[in-house]
Amino acid sequence: MEAILDKNQLPRHVAIIMDGNGRWAKSRNLPRAEGHRRGALAARAAVEECLALGIAELTLYAFSRENWSRPAEEVNFLFRLLVEFINKELSALETQGVRLMVIGEEEGLPGYARKALTLARERTVGNSRMILNLALNYSGREEIARACRLYMESGAPAAACDCASLTGYLYTAGRPDPDLVIRTSGEKRISNFLLFQTAYSELYFCDTLWPDFSAADLHKALHDYAGRIRRFGGLTKH
């Protein structure tokens, strides 16, 4: 039987690099699209489990800026799936107290996806039980470059530009960094995700392909996190 999770040792903010949809489909001789479809269900289940656990913030890496290099057919499918997901789940998310937010360059997204995201954001703006951030057309490096541009455009002096002031121009301005970053599918890299914000995040890698990622897999990651000692550059307290 699984050990009980200590609520006091849960991360406040979990971020997930949801990887392995294509391999999941390939291993079953299914089209990649089917992997993404099953991946969307796994994402929904992860939201549900985080809500049940009382996790305050969940960030899901759904589409990177580099993912545009995939065939147009796959990219189009992913955005159609996103809109389908929003249409299907928005009412439930609304009543569950989830606030939906987006990080990434939204202007670059297809118009119909932007419209659905805007509606979802507006409908859930008053919710505070959990923040669900969708990283879409997201690049960590570009986010940092953008923050520098915005800082310069504000007219503030270059000499005063420090980490705290740049933080205010990130997509995540005003919100806490992820405590735990999970990546599925056995890949052990960050792939341009939240480069600035993960400076002291705990990293957890598992072999499970994203469509197979279950509440039990999430619990495993959370147990692992609970055993970590975070030092932030300081000394361990004994």
Distances (CA, A) of 149 to 23, 50, 103, 137, 204: 38, 35, 17, 18, 32
Toward ligand IPE, which CB reaches closer, 70 or 223?
A: 70
Q: Could you tell me which residues are beta bridge partners of residue 134?
A: 60, 102
Which helix (H) or strand (E) element contains residue 89? helix 72-96
Task: Output b/e per residue, 155-194; b: 16+ Cβ within 10 A.
Answer: eeeeeebeeeebbebbbbeebebbbbbbbbbeeeebebbb
Q: What end-to-end distance do the CA atoms of the chain give, in Å?
A: 30
Residues 19, 177, 179, 217: which is the catalytic one? 19
Residues 6, 8, 29, 67: which is the catalytic one? 67
Closest separation in Å from C-beta 12 to ligand IPE: 22
Which of Mg ion, ligand IPE, none is residue 105 near (CB under 5 to 8 Å by kind)?
none
8 is catalytic: no
**Applying CB under 5 A, which residues contact Mg ion?**
19
19 is catalytic: yes
**Applying CB under 6 A, which residues contact ligand IPE?**
17-23, 61-64, 67, 78, 185, 187, 189, 191, 210
Toward Mg ion, which CB reaches closer, 50 or 78?
A: 78
Find the residue with minimal CB distance to Mg ion.
Answer: 19
Toward ligand IPE, which CB reaches closer, 124 or 208?
A: 208
Closest separation in Å from C-beta 22 to ligand IPE: 3
- Residue 225: helix, strand or coil by DSSP? helix
Kindly list the catalytic residues.
Answer: 19, 67
